[in-house]
Amino acid sequence: MKLGIFRRKFTALIELLRRMSGLIDYFLWLVFDPSKFIIVKNKNIKKILIALVNEEAGNIGGDFCLLGVINCFKKTCPNIGVSILADKNTIKNFGDIPGINMIEYAGRKTLEKIKKEKFNAVFIVNSNELRIRDFIFIPYRVMIFYYSFRDLLNFNQKLFISRKPYIPWRTHMVDMTFRMFESLGFKFPKKQLIFHYSKNDELKVNKFLKKNKIKKFIIIHPGGKFIIDTLQRGKWPPHLWYLDRYAEVADYFSKKGYKVLITGSKKEKILADEINKKSKHGVISCCGFEIRESGYLLSKAKALIATDTSIVHIAYQVEVPIVELMGPSYPKIVGAWPLDSKKHIILFDSGPCSYSMKKIECPENIPCLGGISVKEVIAAADKLLSIN
């Protein structure tokens, strides 16, 4: 669809409709769902199930934000058992997490296994083909509402919800997850996300760093979901910053004595190779590391420079300074958390694509991050490196 000069107005209209859809969805629950009258007896909650059965590739950044909150909950309430019902791919991404039981979803027959566990509460994050009433055997059923047309029209997820905490517009995705636990009366003396990596993850990354004689380094993550697929279709990905600009940033920090590492999936190595070609001093590709390995690598880095993608949500969990480039996204919803941290700087392109929430190709091939300059990125990274 060609939006032309109407792009901003179109984006504003979509935002208005999205807000209305969320409020309508919440209103319908308040009016028609009698399950909200169930009295929650917090002290009786001994076992909690998290339903996270993703469709297709899922949302890696959001999944690890959820996991970080769950880990914080386990630290706060160590005597309450937590299990995650998830698809095979999500379980592989998470790996073994201390204190959390993983249940692989193998179709509706898995519900029979769950019934035997006698859970007291279920948090329904993603349920794929499962409906709310499929969990009716669990006393407390919690689900947050999203500002989404799709969720408004999903009639299988409207009733039998015990708690549906109200989420103000532009609430951060991390805070949304904490509110699910808080809706059952749980309190957090300190809200923090906790990221786990294994000894094997440490060994693999340390071996890589030693082999390449890397000690002081920064990480650039140019890729993200749909970027390679979009480029292969000859279109411009909304979340991609110019690769020659990344190369200029890499050269600047190389001159200052930093090694520059490029992270991403295996197929995103072509971005690292292109940046390496454009760079005068060269970069080192780390594309292909698993998510937990990337988390440990980030914990050793001096800074991360990236756009809005899953790596950022891992980075703030391991407390590495972040320069985040945003434009099509909402910083208050998906930006580096917490938003008031002195370890994060978000550079926002307020051009015609701002707040459009586009992940797939731009219909007019407009570079949605084109308004962010090399000078701004370097200045932001320099500032973070000087105070951290």
pTM: 0.93
* Upper half-sphere CA count for residue 87 (Cβ side, 13 Å): 18
Q: What is the DSSP string of 277-302?
A: HH-SS--EE-TT--HHHHHHHHHH-S
41 and 77 share one domain: yes
Question: Of 148, 182, 216, which marks where a domain is finished?
Answer: 182
- Per the listing, tokens 């201390």 go with 98
Asked if residue 218 and residue 289 are part of one domain, the reply reads yes
Instruction: Look at residue 13 and tell me if it is in a domain.
Output: yes
Q: Note whether residue 54 is domain-resident.
A: yes
Domain span at residue 174 reads 4-182
Give the chain's domain count. 2
Boundary residue ending a domain (150, 182, 214): 182
Report yes or no on 187 lying in a domain.
no
For residue 29, tell me if it sits in a domain.
yes
Judge if 358 and 221 occupy the same domain.
yes
Q: For 209, list phi and psi in degrees, rounded to 5.
A: -65, -40
CATH number for the domain including 56?
3.40.50
The letter for the amino acid at 328 is P
Q: Quick one: pLDDT at residue 5?
A: 62
- Same structural domain for residues 169 and 213? no
Same domain, 367 and 261: yes
Q: Are 239 and 328 in contact (CB under 8 A)?
A: yes
Residues 137 and 53 in one domain: yes
Q: Give the pLDDT confidence of 70-126 residue by residue, as tens digits.
A: 999 999 999 999 999 999 999 999 999 999 999 999 999 999 999 999 999 999 999
| Sign, CA torsion 211/213/216/221 | negative
Q: Is residue 246 part of a domain?
A: yes
Beta bridge partners of 285: 262
Nearest to 246, CA basis, from 374, 93, 66, 95: 374
Give domain status of residue 191, yes or no.
no
What's the confidence (pLDDT) of residue 12?
83
Do 147 and 100 share a domain, yes or no? yes
| Residue 149, domain member (yes or no) | yes
Query: What CA–CA distance (Å, rounded) separates 154 from 30?
Result: 16
Q: What is the pLDDT of residue 74?
A: 97
Q: What is the pLDDT of residue 173?
A: 94
Question: What sections of the chain are H helices per DSSP?
Answer: 7-32, 60-76, 88-94, 110-115, 149-153, 173-182, 199-211, 227-232, 243-255, 269-278, 291-300, 310-315, 331-334, 374-387
Query: Before 338, cis peptide (omega within 30)?
Result: yes
Q: What is the CATH number of the domain that holds 213?
A: 3.40.50.2000
Is 384 in a helix, a strand, or coil? helix
Is residue 57 domain-shared with residue 88, that is, in the same domain?
yes
pLDDT of res. 1: 40
Within this chain, do residues 204 and 334 fall inside the same structural domain, yes or no?
yes
Q: Which of residues 182, 215, 243 is at a domain's end?
A: 182
From first CA to last CA, the distance across the chain in angstroms is 45
CA nearest to 316, candidates 90, 94, 50, 61 = 61
Whether residues 216 and 365 fall in one domain: yes
CA 363, CA 361: separation in Å to the nearest integer? 6
Asked whether residue 289 falls in the same domain as residue 349, the answer is yes
* DSSP element (H, E) containing 305: strand 304-307
Helices (H) and strands (E) in the chain, counts: 14, 11
Contact 17, 151 (CB under 8 A): no
Beta-carbon contacts of residue 375 (< 8 Å; ≥ 6 apart):
none
All residue ranges of the chain with pLDDT < 70 are: 1-5, 56-58, 363
- 143 part of a folded domain: yes
**Cα–Cα nearest to 57, from 236, 230, 176, 224:** 224
Residues 148 and 235 placed together within one structural domain of the fold? no
